[in-house]
Structure 1
Amino acid sequence: MYDAVADPYCYPGTAVLKNLLDIRDQATLDQYEAEVTAARAEQPFPSGKLDTVHYCRFHHHLFQDVFEWAGRYRTVRIAKGENYFCYPEYIAVQMNRLFSDLRRSNFFQGQSATKFADTGGHFLAELNSIHPFREGNGRAQLAFFAHLADHAGRPLQLKRLDPDVFMTAMIASFLGDEAPLTEVIADLL
């Protein structure tokens, strides 16, 4: 669970996110969210230009049945432990910078597997540090990155993904060490 101050996304006096079904129990919400996002992940994702709008459409696609704000940048500061993600007032600027860099790199097309793992790892690390949404960043990141990998001619073998290893690598990248994330991506190619 994220730490947030004065969080209008949550029901008063709780850490449960307001949701379309008005579920007030965290365990029930977690189960519902997992089920519907898994079902949405099996459907075709929206097409787009691999830009910030397209990325927001991915998040909306996954979470449209759960949260009214699906696909919209968060407006509160959030952290995991004592590590804060990008402050909301800078999200748009940082997302535009990151996706402009992605466009300038020609969306990683034509890169060797090693180069793709390296640049892809950096992209994911940066995207994770921005954490533009109040919830669901990891699932949106992975879904979008898999789409980006397909577009770059480097499809990921997601069935080989170990969620615990991936999470550990994402945390390491947030703390400044992108090598484990690069290794995970290389193993998925």
Structure 2
Amino acid sequence: MSNPYTDENGLFHNKLGITDQTALNEFEYHHSAMKAEAVLSGEIKLDHSSYDLAHLKDIHKALFGDIYEWAGQERTRPSVKGNNLSKTVTFFLEPEKLQDKWQEIQKLTQEFLQAEKLDLKTAKEKLVGIMIEANYSHPFPEGNGRTLQVFMTQLANEQNLKMDYSKVDAEMWNMANALSVPHSKRYEGHLIDVPPNKEMLGRMMDKVIQEPTQSQNLQIQFEQLDKVYQENQHLLSPKQKLIIHEAEKIIQQLPPQAQLQAKVNLYQSVSEDIQKHPQQFDEPEIDR
């Protein structure tokens, strides 16, 4: 039975007309990395940010839409992948089960998002669990790993955590993912089913998941406060806005490393005022 995604040599049909596997791999790697940065920076806007299958499909389309017609679409065929390093073969989830599996995964992502005062150990455990389930689903013919990395990075950021995949070897990372889901081991020409082993992926995630530095925390805090300010500045009186404007001018004269902390302090004060006295800023000023 022919594969609708590939030619007779196993090369994925692509929009670019590339017929060499090495050339396609190289272009795909660099292009998807560039697009991933654009998604994470917010330069590329996604239609969904719900941490479900629709969200994952948006990311996949953003990364691979210039290369494959089927980017952002669920696969319709079984997916099997071998890992030479671990000598394993993984039979990923059947395509007809993808929707149900992602309803389960969305429950996990929502639990993670809604968790309060989440300690680092528990956060890592939750992220590892989500990673394993999402990886096993493997919704696309190609590009699942890179898409999932962006998805998991965004998810971790929601709890002010960083994910830095450069902290681990790429081949070892792929092997850890292969071992963490149901797989078979090659032995004397036969395939023997082996239970999942999550330990290696857990150790890898310990290196990948990091708490933000003090400056990163400040940046996150500033962005959150700035969002509150932008949404509520219509509540401020002209006098209040003038005071903030003058304060911002003074802050700009501070050393760069002190500016961010000063902005956080300013916006924190404004945010607290708005929350305590939301109505007082609604009243128009009257000249006397």
Shift of residue 158, structure 1, vs aligned partner: 3.3
Instruction: Return the alpha-carbon distance in structure 1 between the equivalents of residues 64 and 143 of structure 2.
Output: 8
1:18-97 alignment to 2 at 5 Å?
A: 18-45=13-40, 46-47=45-46, 48-81=49-82, 82-97=89-104
Q: Which has the higher contact order (CA 8 A, sep 6+)?
A: 1
Q: Which residue of 2 aligns with 1:101?
A: 108
Deviations along 1:137-175, one digit per CA (max 9) or x if unpaired, are 000111111111111221123332321231121122124
Is residue 202 of structure 2 the alignment partner of residue 185 of structure 1? no
Q: Tell me how far apart the structure 2 counterparts of residues 166 and 76 of structure 1 sit (CA, whole Å).
A: 25
Provide, for residues 25-78 of structure 1, a one-character-per-residue CA deviation record: whole Å limited to 9, x for no partner: 211111111121122122134441222211111111111111111111101111
- Identify the match of residue 162 of structure 2 among 155, 158, 170: 155
8 Å contact from structure 1 (residues 23, 29) kept in 2: yes
Quote the residue 1:10 is aligned against: 6
State which of 127, 135, 160 in structure 2 corresponds to 1:128: 135
Counterpart-to-counterpart distance in 2, 1:7 and 1:184: 34
Give matches, 1:137-176, under 5 Å: 137-175=144-182, 176=196
The more displaced of 103-112 and 80-89 is 103-112
How many Å apart are 1:107 and its aligned residue? 5.7
Q: How many residues are treated as equivalent by the alignment?
A: 184
SS in 2 for 1:15: coil
**Secondary structure in 2 matching 1:125:** helix
Structure 1, 129-138 or 83-92: larger mean CA deviation: 83-92
Please, which runs of 5 or more residues in structure 1 have no aligned partner? none
**Aligned Cα RMSD in Å?**
1.8
The aligned residue for residue 249 of structure 2 is none
